[in-house]
Chain A
Amino acid sequence: MDIIVCVKHVPETAEAELKIDSTGKAIDKTGLVFDINEWDDYALEEAVRMKEKQGGTVTAITIGAEDSDTTLRKCLARGADKAIRLTDPKFNDSDGYAIAKILHSVIKTLHFDLILTGMQAGDDGQAIVGPILAEMLKVPHATMVKKIELATGTAKVNRELEGGLEEQVEVKTPALLSVQTGINEPRYVSIMGIRKAMQKEIKLMTLADTGLTENDVGAAGSWVRIEKMYVPPVEKQAEFIKGSPDEIAARITEILKSRGLI
């Protein structure tokens, strides 16, 4: 069982206050902590669990600058056997379509039974790389996967629909599955594991190794181009309650009382 996992190194922004940078088209990344994209973390864990059960290899692939190695090291420490990083300044400003083309250029040369991706990335949230890659490779795919059961030549998967409903579908393998969070419980990586992973090789590739041209990647090779980034308009103007925790708690209690809620 040879599995390829596509991962992305992204800033953790769920609890951070974001600022828009001077270009007006991106966020200021100063001070943000970067880590493996949350959805990819689940994809990686799923791949490693399959390998542990059935044998085979797990290859982690990313596109990015040198700092993305932290994410690849995490993959190696978790149980990935090989890591590839595609890097080139020309890759900057690629959208999901250009990213899929770059990934495709490498993956088409590798043997795989399954490709796992996160269903989306926490930064741009396009949710497109997996299915595009599947179309380019001419293999079946399923997105928003919450459960995978492997059999000979097929994978039975549960896809998340809306309102708590799921659908079970069967795809022929080799296939690409893009996973939803909550499919498993990603394990913690020990310091020992990370130390050991430091010795493993990360294979580097550039645009020249992909067989693509400058026009295939970056902004030129993308479907969409960001023109302006801004703070979303407020739907409802909330009243901000200020003061010490006790004062705030007293005010909330007052509000609840006035509405007959306590």
Chain B
Amino acid sequence: MAKIFVLAEHRQGQIRDITYEMLTKARELSEKTGSELTALLLGKDVKEHAKMLAEYAKTVVLVDDAKLENFNSEAYKQILSTLITQHKPLLVMMGHTSYGVDLAPRLATALNLPLATDCIDLAFENGALTVTRQMFGGKVNVKAAARKAETYITTVRQATFAPQKPSPPANGQIVETASPLTEEIAEKRFIQYVSAPPGGVDITAAEKLVGIGRGIKDVANMPVADELAKTLGGVLACSRPIVDKGWLPTDRQVGTSGKTVKPKLYLALGISGAFQHVLGMKSSDLIIAVNKDPKAPIFSYADYAVVEDLFKIVPSLRNKINESKTQRTCK
């Protein structure tokens, strides 16, 4: 029976959400293709994780090795190469995450197998893999076909598939496999985790956020947005480019590599809406977005959209809010 492999992702004792998201999609694919769903778990002392994965997958292949205490793409590559060569699965799925991005391209090259990355959907048509992915920062989608192969390797975008535990649980079999690693990986070594220093502002606690992006153009324009945030009684947050430029500290960044926020109001100014940002704010109660590009992806997540230059809207909006506050005080 053909197999579908899902590589479980875990860090610091936690299975990461992407694992369950992939297992859910993989279950659908395994039913459609008549394949057996297999979770791969590599780590040190991770038997508890294996039990959780067994609720989702028919088989859990467990490689428990002290050399796998922390993620190492080279160690993972060697082990996955062995497992893939041995089992010849139809499909291998891993997260399009800091781990998957480090591992998948090298693994696919070593095995001479085609790789499709950052997939937001996967399907088999006549035994060949077709994927959906995005280009140009999420402004367009593409359907792409992989070169025909016995095994396809893929990386899957985070938070794309809603995780769902099978009912009843899969009650999968845990198969412990001896680690093929004979020695520590010398050329690439994990040293330590580094956390960002705690900042002065906790944007996850704010009820109202004004998020700024590339559209703010220049550091000199920052006060425009900051004053609006203050008028609203909210806090300034931002997308990645603003932190990259050093205009706001890291603790103000919303998105996959920053914070996930759920304020009552998220006012997005000049943010195009790449998925990395959207993932961090799409659950906000009310989203109002201002962007010059009528097709900006952010509008697909907004409740209210304004196609206009933010510099034309913001001063006017500040005045109106102030007026409305004054009226209330006068009454």
Contacts and interface: CB of A to CB of B under 8 A. Distances in A.
B320 A18 contact: no
13 contacts: A127-B118, A140-B187, A161-B11, A167-B98, A167-B191, A168-B190, A169-B189, A170-B188, A229-B141, A246-B316, A249-B313, A250-B320, A259-B264
Given A127-B101, A170-B188, A245-B312, A229 B142 contact: yes
Interface string A121-152: 01111111111101110001111100000000
A110 interface: no
The DSSP consensus for interface residues of chain B is mixed
Contact of B295 (A17, A127, A182, A226): A17
Contacts of B106: 131-132, 134-135, 141
Contacts of A123: 135-136
A142 B147 contact: no
Contacts of A14: 137, 214, 272
Contacts of B303: 236, 238-239
Interface in A206-262: 222-236, 238-241, 245-246, 248-250, 252-253, 255-257, 259, 261-262
Interface residues of A, number: 83
B172 interface: no
Contacts of B117: 126-128
Contacts of B72: 169
The DSSP consensus for interface residues of chain A is mixed
A253 B141 contact: no
A159 B98 contact: yes
A112 interface: no
B117 to A, nearest CB: 5
A250 B319 CA distance: 9
A165 B194 contact: yes
Classify chain B's interface size: 35 or more
B34 interface: no
List 4 tightest A-B contacts by C-beta distance, closest first. A182-B244, A249-B316, A131-B105, A223-B114
Contacts, number: 279
A181 interface: yes
Interface of A: 13-18, 20, 25, 27, 96-97, 100, 119, 122-132, 134-136, 140-144, 156, 158-172, 181-182, 185, 222-236, 238-241, 245-246, 248-250, 252-253, 255-257, 259, 261-262
Interface in B83-104: 96-98, 101-102, 104
A144 B103 CA distance: 12
A182 B193 CA distance: 19
A15 B115 contact: no
Given A15-B292, A241-B306, A227 B272 contact: no
A119 B97 CA distance: 12
Nearest to A101: B109
Contacts of A228: 142-143
Contacts of A172: 186-188
Contact of B191 (A170, A240, A245, A255): A170
Given A14-B214, A140-B187, A253 B246 contact: no
B145 interface: yes
A234 B138 CA distance: 12
A19 B143 CA distance: 17
B214 A226 contact: no
B140 A232 contact: yes
Given A14-B214, A165-B195, 7 more contacts: A97-B109, A125-B134, A164-B196, A166-B194, A227-B144, A227-B145, A240-B306
B215 to A, nearest CB: 7
